[in-house]
């Protein structure tokens, strides 16, 4: 699938760079996941290592200090571990079992990194304890506005997982517009952006965040990251039995196109969105302040980083 993706996707015209602290972040994150019980067996641990969260985080914030890189790496590690758990025991396809898990994690999100009652941590298990640890560190390391944004974005992510699970149990395949909207949340790309903003010291004021050009830029960046991921992972997902939660699959569901044509159409969407991103970024940077420039840089790094990480990662082999 790399060959198709490499030839069909426009290479994002941003420098691809990797944070020099990435190897350390990878080691620390593997230990963090082990210590908190996110991985229980050597097989789980080596699958998580192959996912290479630190490589993705290190590309998203190439100049970040180790504590910021570490936090983003651990968030991505957590997301991969939770995703694996949802896949492994059918949790992600069973809304009735997933809903209480999501509700407990939402209880933890509601704490916005403040101390958690022991009963809550106990009932939430390792996934909840690790999420709480992330929240605690986000509170300690980032400005309050970013902490609040991080919490609401995690909430959207968790709620959107229930949409996906409800589809799976009903064998329902979403069409493109619905998929595109929900994928922004199931991909957890927004909370990842926010920790990347923290790492880039990008904290535009509310007036800029509510500016429709900046919010559109954010949305395009989220789509690009998700779609790039979809196109690279399509083949692996198809082999595992596609459930329709992939841009190319949504195109096929909606249009009836065969696989190759649907993949090409998905790649074209990516390329068009990248062009739109570049045009809009130009406009935003012409008017924006230093915080806005950092905000855009964080998203550039994510778009390029996802592309480079996908090209290299063994995750989709």
* Interface residue list for its own copies (CB under 8 A): 95-96, 99-100, 102-104, 106-107, 110-112, 114-115, 139, 143-145, 147-148, 152, 155-156, 159-160, 162-163, 165-167, 169-170, 172, 174-175, 177-178, 181-182, 185, 205-207, 209-210, 212, 215, 219
Nearer to its own copies, 26 or 105 (CB): 105
Q: How far, in Å, are 64, 110, 145, 191 from residue 152 at the CA level?
A: 24, 9, 11, 8
Q: Whole-number minimum distance, CB 297 to its own copies, in Å?
A: 21
Q: How far, in Å, are 19, 71, 146 from residue 16 at the CA level?
A: 10, 21, 26
Q: Whole-number minimum distance, CB 263 to its own copies, in Å?
A: 23
CA pseudo-torsion sign 239, 232, 90, 168? negative
Q: Whole-number minimum distance, CB 8 to its own copies, in Å?
A: 26
φ/ψ of 30, rounded to 5, equals -65, -40
Nearer to its own copies, 167 or 310 (CB): 167
CA pseudo-torsion sign 189, 224, 204, 59? positive
Q: Are 192 and 302 in contact (CB under 8 A)?
A: yes
Q: Are 59 and 301 in contact (CB under 8 A)?
A: yes
Q: Whole-number minimum distance, CB 299 to its own copies, in Å?
A: 16
Q: Whole-number minimum distance, CB 69 to its own copies, in Å?
A: 23
Nearer to its own copies, 58 or 135 (CB): 135
Nearer to its own copies, 6 or 175 (CB): 175
Nearer to its own copies, 179 or 307 (CB): 179
- Residue carrying structure tokens 């996912």: 51
- Residue carrying structure tokens 């979403």: 174
């Amino acid at each position: 699938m790399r060959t198709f993706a490499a030839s069909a996707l426009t290479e994002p015209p941003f420098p691809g760079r990797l944070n020099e602290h990435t190897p350390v972040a990878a080691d620390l994150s593997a230990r963090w996941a082990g210590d908190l019980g996110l991985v229980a067996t050597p097989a789980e641990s080596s699958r998580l290592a192959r996912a290479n969260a630190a490589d993705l985080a290190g590309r998203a914030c190439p100049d970040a200090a180790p504590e910021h890189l570490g936090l983003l790496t651990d968030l991505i590690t957590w997301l991969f571990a939770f995703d694996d758990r949802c896949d492994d025991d059918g949790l992600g396809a069973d809304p009735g079992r997933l809903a209480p898990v999501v509700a407990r994690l939402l209880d933890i999100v509601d704490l916005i990194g403040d101390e958690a009652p022991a009963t809550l941590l106990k009932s939430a298990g390792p996934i909840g304890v690790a999420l709480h640890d992330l929240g605690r560190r986000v509170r300690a390391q980032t400005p309050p506005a970013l902490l609040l944004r991080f919490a609401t974005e995690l909430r959207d992510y968790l709620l959107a997982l229930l949409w996906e699970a409800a589809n799976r149990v009903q064998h329902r395949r979403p069409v493109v517009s619905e998929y595109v909207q929900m994928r922004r949340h199931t991909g957890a790309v927004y909370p990842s952006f926010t920790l990347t903003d923290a790492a880039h010291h990008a904290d535009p004021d509310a007036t800029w965040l509510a500016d429709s050009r900046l919010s559109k830029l954010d949305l395009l960046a989220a789509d690009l990251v998700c779609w790039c991921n979809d196109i690279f992972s399509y083949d692996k997902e198809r082999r595992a039995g596609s459930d329709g939660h992939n841009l190319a699959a949504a195109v096929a569901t909606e249009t009836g196109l065969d696989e190759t044509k649907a993949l090409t159409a998905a790649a074209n969407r990516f390329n068009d969105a990248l062009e739109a991103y570049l045009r809009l970024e130009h406009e935003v940077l012409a008017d924006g302040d230093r915080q806005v420039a950092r905000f855009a840089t964080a998203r550039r790094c994510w778009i390029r980083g996802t592309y480079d990480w996908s090209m290299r990662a063994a995750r989709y082999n």
